[in-house]
Amino acid sequence: MTEQPAGWPAGGRPPRGACPSCAEGAGTPGARPAGTAPPTALVLPPSTAGTASAHALEPDPPEAARDRVNRRWNEILQETRVAQTGVQILFGFLLSVAFTPVFRELAVADRVIYVVTVVLGASATASLIAPVSLHRFLSGQRMKDEMADIAHRLMMCGMVLLALTIGCTLLLILHVVVPGLLADLLVGAVMLWFALCWYALPLWLRRRSARRLARRSTPS
């Protein structure tokens, strides 16, 4: 048998309200230490509640110059890997066309299109791989900011050349498969879609974001 402290009832629990500290230790529901105020609900003042959504819409804090350059360079490298894969596969296909028996049967105009396509594909390959050469030659020279700017321009130029290469390749194939005006119309529609996806849409989103930031910064 266990001993019970003197003054406790037979149930082994202190009487309700007799000893606040004992009641709390025994698990009495609703018991609070003596002299403690009841809990109050946390109510935000109107000014704080009104500015909560405004803080959520504030732009991110400005990043350091070194972090910004590193982020830009890493993004360029990731984008270069994606673009290089496409242009290398396409350029390899173009080089193999000249050694097929069907190439000898092409008309003079189609051969001109092929030559233009190969030149555009080689130029796109050079522009998209140029950031790798820049990094190898200028690594350790503390010129990452200049490298990021030049690589950005080379990437934009390479994307234009890549789009033209795809358009000329499609034109060459469709001239063989679908003779006549239909081939030119299909190529024009595809190039229009390229222009909308690669250039018009990003520029529109960029302009809309600039207008939104201007409205936020304008005092009401």
Residue by residue, what is the 3-state secondary structure of 135-201?
Answer: HHHHCCCCCHHHHHHHHHHHHHHHHHHHHHHHHHHHHHHHHHHCCCHHHHHHHHHHHHHHHHHHHHH
The C-alpha atoms of residue 157 and residue 165 are separated, in whole angstroms, by 12
- Whether pTM exceeds 0.75: no
Nearest to 90 by CA among 115, 130, 125: 125
Output the CA–CA distances (angstroms, integers) from residue 55 to 13, 32, 47, 58, 61, in the order listed. Answer: 52, 38, 12, 5, 12
Structure tokens at 89: 């596969």
Output the CA–CA distances (angstroms, integers) from residue 59 to 113, 151, 209, in the order listed. Answer: 49, 27, 12
Of how many residues is the chain composed? Answer: 220
- pLDDT values of the chain reduced to their tens digit, one per residue, 220 residues: 444 445 455 555 555 545 544 444 444 444 455 555 555 544 444 444 444 444 444 556 677 777 787 888 888 888 888 888 888 888 888 888 888 888 888 888 888 999 999 999 999 999 998 888 888 888 777 788 888 889 889 989 999 999 999 999 999 889 888 877 888 899 999 999 999 999 999 999 989 988 888 888 776 5
